[in-house]
Amino acid sequence: MEAIAAEGLSKVYRTRVAGRTGVHALTDFSLTVESGQIFGLLGPNGAGKTTFVRTVLSLVRPTSGSARLLGVPLPDVNVRSRTGYLPEQHRYPPHMTGEVALRLFGRLSGATPAILNTRVPSLLAQLGLSEWGRTKIKRYSKGMVQRLGLAQAMLHDPDVLFLDEPTDGLDPVGRKEIRDVLIGLRNEGKTIFLNSHLLSEVELVCDRVAVLDRGKLLRVATVDELTVSGTRYEIGFAGQIPPGFLDETRARVLPVSFGNGVMEVDVHGTDDLNRLIDLMRSHRIAITSIIHRRASLEDSFLKMLKPGEST
């Protein structure tokens, strides 16, 4: 079942700059996110990520195209009751305590006092804020405010969560804890739509990702599909490379480089890799390891933004 669907969305913002008709935040944007996934939308600043989220939340109306949220055609403000939203750089009244802030947002979302009496302490505990619930927010660190924001987004047990930079300001331990929370929500059948500049975090938690640049969708794929296409291998070896080995690799068009007991090679397939291994064995070179150097999500992302350059 689809949780989010967009078909041909375009959004043009008016501009007063002379000679320009408008800023195209989205151009013919089509995307489907299935229920029960953690989906990442990637793109540089100004790519249109926040505009898309605001459009799906009916905070912004598209210039053209259509969208659905949980099967409901948009715009429809009523479907917001089934969604949670953590915007980037969110702020809360500093004089409030974390518990009071959550209760306020809970009442705004329609939760009863009985539900909040259970839900608020449970979320504070889940997000590591139990001891800070009665402390004023002005004493919170940036990471603690981020945790409180996630608790706010989860408060009414939504079916879909839109999270903009959810691990911003958190230390490595905090990021791991938030990842565990998100994975737990996915296992409960929740859908999580994630915007983040921390591509290493996206790589660890997302099932699928989309890459957006200047309002245009470049690609939608799983993380594995984006990161396993590399052709570079690292081959560990012991001892010295015998004379003549490099001449033979050049003759067979196998470009290799060396450093600290590791040979790096770019091959066009397993046949080339096996030819190199056979050549090493014929020269009695002891092989200690073979590693397929997986491209990182960041490598793939940058390559898509600069298709004419290697990463």
CA distances from 154 to 79, 120, 178, 252 (A): 15, 10, 12, 59
> What percent helix, strand, coil does the chain show, rounded to 5?
35, 30, 35
Give the pLDDT score at 101: 96
In angstroms, the CA 289 to CA 234 distance is: 8
CA distances from 66 to 42, 80, 193, 248 (A): 21, 17, 18, 60
Two tokens at 18? 């002379």
For the stretch 270-309, pLDDT in tens is 788 888 889 889 988 899 998 877 666 777 777 777 654 4
For the stretch 126-177, pLDDT in tens is 999 999 999 999 999 988 999 999 999 999 999 999 998 888 878 888 889 8
User: CB-based contacts of 108: which residues, under 8 Å, 6+ apart?
Assistant: none
- The stretch 24-44 carries a mean pLDDT of 93
For the stretch 168-197, pLDDT in tens is 878 888 889 889 999 999 999 999 999 887
What is the CATH T-level fold of the domain 231-293, as seen in this structure? Alpha-Beta Plaits (3.30.70)
Q: Please state which CATH number belongs to domain 2-224.
A: 3.40.50.300
pLDDT at 17 over 70: no
What are the structural domain ranges in the chain?
A: 2-224, 231-293
